[in-house]
Structures are given as structure tokens and as C-alpha cells.
A and B are shown apart, each in its own frame.
Chain A
Amino acid sequence: MATPLTPSLRARWRLPPGLAWGAGLLVLIVAMAVVGPHLSPYDLDAISLEERLQPPSIQHWLGTDEFGRDVLSRVLHGARSSLLMGFGATAISLLLGVPLGLAAGYYRGRIDEIIMRVIDVMISIPPVILGLLILSVTTPSIGKTMFAVGLVYVPIMTRLTRSVTLEAAAEEFVQAARARGESAAYILFSEILPNAWPAIIIEAGLRVTFAILLGAALSFLGLGVQPPASDWGLMIAEARPFIDSAPWIACAPGVALCVTVIAINLAGDGLREWLDPRLQGRQS
């Protein structure tokens, strides 16, 4: 039985520890991404012959890379592109996937068939390979990679939206609205969507970390952010020749990536726990 959200929300001010920690860490990371590069005494792109490949020291807390650039500044700046990738790609997958799923679940019939067949084709390609194929037709850039990653996750969002739409559409109040002669738009946005969005948001939260990791993998393979931009995946790829002589160049962005993903996962899991009681029986 679907119940409106608001009373439960107000009743649940006690946040799960995971959510608190995760969200807190995430806020810290975002803050560092935004403010950090400005606080650094080093120009992000400034190259310096004398300071190449230096290990971490007082002047350079995370050392320097093969161009003499400060690794810490680049890692902080790289947070921007990774976070942008994660949230941007997820937003795109929501923007495209949710309407498709709503249409498929509500209208059924022909529309549903067509949409699901297309989805099936897309799902039958592993994500990395799908990303590669999409990006091979164009000159890569961060915007295009974000779009490609978003496209990769559209099928999953569509499927999920469709299944919650199917469930909601079977409910009595939706039948009632239909009988009253309400327009499809009204039914979708006022009746179905408010009950569907928790599951969608939770799935979207999961997708953010996958999007970040997929974006980093594509940048690693050369199809994402382009040099000399500082993106964590790209930095790891560029650091490979120096992995033995200067491991900090690869490890710093790698660890940053892990910490960010863990933070988002913590926040996401906490969010799920928080919203969970209202989802009993709605597990799909």
C-alpha cells in the first residue's frame, strides 16, 4: 500500500552513522575540489624542469610529476572532473532513462516492446565496451565522455523506472485517476512518480560511483578527459611509465578515487537505510 512520504520523513531525523560519515566526507571532498586548487601555492599547469619526479616533501606534499607539476594541486583539481563525471553522467541517465521507463511502464503495448528491445541490445554490451564504441565516433572530451557514460546507464534506469511504474500503475488510486479521466501527464507526474522516486534515487546513487569508475576507466584508456587536464583516471594512465621510479604520481589519484567512491557509497547506503522502512515490500 503506497503511503505519502512526508510524515515519515519528519519522523526520522535520526540519521544512520554511515550516512553521516559518508555525506560528511563527500562534502569535504567537494569543498576541496572547489576551493583546494585556489589554496595551492602552485599553478596547476606550470611545468618546471628542475622539479621533475620529486618524492613527497615539505614543498610538495604529494611530490611532483614528470613535468614538475605539483601532484597535490592536480589531485584536488582532478576531483572536479571525476565528480562532474559521476553526477553529470547519472543525471543524463536519469533525464533519458526515467521518461523512457515511465512511457514503457505506463503505456505498455507497442511502445513498451520497442523500448525494451532497444534496451536489450544496449544491455547486451558490457559497459566499458559500449563506452569505447560510443566514443570511437568522435573526438573525446570530458563532455562527450560524460554523455557516453550516461548513455551506458540509461538501460538500467529505464528498466528500473519501468518496473516501479508497472507496480504503481496497478495500484487503486492510479486506476481511479484514470477512471476520472485525468491526463497521462498528470497521472505520471502526480501519482506515479512521487511513489517511484525513492527507488529511482537509490539506484541513481549507486550509479554515481559506477559512473565515476567507468569515466576513470575510459580516461585511462585515453578516451575521456584530455591532457593536460587533471583527471584521476588520466593521471593514473600518464603515471604508468614511472610506476617504479615515482609511484606517488599514480598512487595519489588512485587513492583519491577510492576514497571518493567509498564516501559516496557510505552516503548512498546510509540514504538507503534511512529511506528503507518505507520500501518494505517494494524491493524489486
Chain B
Amino acid sequence: MFAYLVKRLFYVATTVAVMSVLIFWITQVMPGNVAYMILGDFAAPEDIATLEAQLGLNDPAHVQYLRWAGGMLRGDMGMSLSMNQPVSAVLWGAVGRSAILAGISIVLVAALGIWLGVYGGVRRGRLADRIISIGTYINIAIPEFFWAIVVIMLFAGYLNWFPATGYQGIEHGLWAWARHLVLPVFTLVFGLIAHVSRLTRSSVIDVMQSQYIRAARARGLTERRIVREHALRNALLPTVTVLAIDVGVLMGGVVVAETIFSYPGLGRTLIYAIQQMDMPLLQACMMVVTCIYALSNLAADVTYALLNPRIRYGNAADA
């Protein structure tokens, strides 16, 4: 296990390194640069040239990259060129806020999605299952950005139950903080729950039909006990894997949700960095994104291995 972990972590590190070169290349390839963005629409060409020289944008590409990479390895993320602030100050605040949003969402997605999947799977074919199935089927078809807009229109505009703006610091009161999170979390959960519940349902169905469960039934165990003690453990294996992939989907959803709800998190910072071609900030954001995604994949694989001694790639185990 230890060797496996080390190998995987090494892969994560190389992926992150390759990513950084890729991002740097992108900022070099784009016409225009951050100097244009800082100085605004009508800057004189001489002023742009002066600023470019100051920011070191005229140095050869590999020099700029190595300068940045050297700083990173020393733990210095550099200055955000467009915001005139150290990247770390901007980044960690944003990451923290996104983490709250994503963390709450994924817990809810896991809890609700699994519950819905088990509920439907165990009652396969009956009315409850059909309703849940149709619901999730439609859910998958609704794009997240459209859902967010409808949610704002309904709950913030028409009913005025919740604020449509994303963030209120916790220092302004727990209730206000929570209220502001409701709609963005609702949007994110909505985007993922169908996937998790459908997968759970199908793996529950598979497991419930397996030899192992039939044997348990033959032994006279109650249905409830069968589900709780035997079926769940095996059915949840693919769900765990999917939750890791969902972290990636969630991050995409976070980008959209933070844009629509004006939530000052990592997603919005990333879009801002792309628009401004702010290389240090963009690199830092992408590092975080890559690490989170790679580490969550790793966590899923490890959990899977721990729950199932036979590591297999694939779906429901026929234990």
C-alpha cells in the first residue's frame, strides 16, 4: 500500500508539473497580455511597453517560466499581476470559500444520492422507484446554468425566500451566512445527484440479484438486515469511485455556480485569471484544481481498495 501511495503521489506531482508548463504556454500564445488588461482600454503603447518591461513580460519564455517555477518551489506563489496582491492572499481565501460550498454540496450529494439510489433500487419497479427514476432522468438533461437561473428566478425573485447573492461572511451572523449558501448549494447538488443516485440504484439492483444475497435470503435473514449489512457495502463501491469523478464535475459546476451567484471562490478567481491572462494567479488556481482532483481520485482508489480487498477496475462487485 505504501509503495502504491508513493507511486500515485509521484504521478500527481508530475501531472501538476506538466500542467504548469501547459498553462504557461497558453499565456504566451494568447495575443495581448496582462499589461493591456491592467492599463485598461485606452493605454498608450509606450505605457504598455513600460509596464511590460516592469512585469518582466519581455524576458524570454523559459526565463519567465523558471523564475515563476523557482518561486513556487520555494513556496512563494508570486504576485498577481492584475490584482497587485500576493497570489497566496487571494488564493487561499477563495479556496476556503469554494471548499465550504463544495464540501457541503458533496456531503449532501452523497447522502441524498445514495439514499435515493438505495430506496429506489430496493423497491425496484414499484411506484417510488419509477418516480425517482423519471426524476433523475429529467435532472440529467437540465444544464446546471439553466437550473441556477430558474432557481434564482423562483426562490430569490418570485418567492424571495433566499438571497441570490452568494456570500456573506460568517462574522455577519450564522443565519445570514447559511441563507446565502442555500441557493448555490442547491444548484450544485442538483447537478450531481442524479448521477450518484442512478449509479447507486443500478449497483444495488445488481448486488441484490447476486448469489451472495440470494444465499443470505435462503439463510432466512430479514430483507432489512440483508440490505444494511451485506448489500450496501458492495453496492457502494462504485459509488465511492464515482464520487471522486464527481469532484471533477463539481469543480466545473462550481465555476458556473460561482459566476451566476457572484460567489467569491476559486471558480470565479479562475475565470478572472483567464480573462486577465494573469499567469501567476492562473497557475496557482490550476495547481489547486489539479491537486484537488488528482488527490480525490487517489482517495477514491484507496477507499475502494480498503473496502474491497481485491482491487479491481470495474463496477459492482459480485462478492
Contact = CB atoms under 8 A, between A and B. Distances in A.
Given A125-B19, A132-B271, A236 B293 contact: no
B22 to A, nearest CB: 7
Main secondary structure of the interface of B (DSSP, over half): helix
Contacts of B26: 133, 136-137
Interface residue tally on A, bucketed by range: 35 or more
A184 interface: no
Interface stretch (A55-63, A69-77, A239-247): A239-247
A229 B127 CA distance: 44
* Most interface-central of B23, B140, B256 (chain A CB within 10 A): B140
Contact of A124 (B146, B149, B293, B314): B293
B215 interface: no
B293 A250 contact: no
- Majority SS at the chain A contact face: helix
A258 B138 contact: yes
A127 B252 contact: yes
A216 B144 CA distance: 10
Interface string A127-160: 1110011001100000000000000000000000
Interface in B115-161: 137-138, 140-146, 149-150, 152-153, 157
B15 interface: yes
Contacts of A127: 248-249, 252
B149 A250 contact: yes
Nearest to A259: B141
A124 B290 contact: yes
B258 to A, nearest CB: 11
Given A121-B19, A126-B251, A132-B270, 15 more contacts: A124-B293, A124-B297, A125-B290, A126-B252, A126-B293, A127-B249, A129-B270, A129-B289, A132-B271, A137-B26, A220-B145, A262-B137, A262-B138, A265-B141, A283-B315
28 contacts: A117-B14, A117-B18, A125-B289, A125-B290, A126-B293, A127-B252, A132-B271, A136-B26, A136-B274, A137-B29, A217-B145, A217-B256, A220-B143, A221-B256, A221-B271, A243-B153, A243-B157, A244-B157, A247-B153, A250-B146, A254-B146, A257-B141, A257-B143, A258-B142, A259-B141, A262-B138, A265-B137, A265-B140
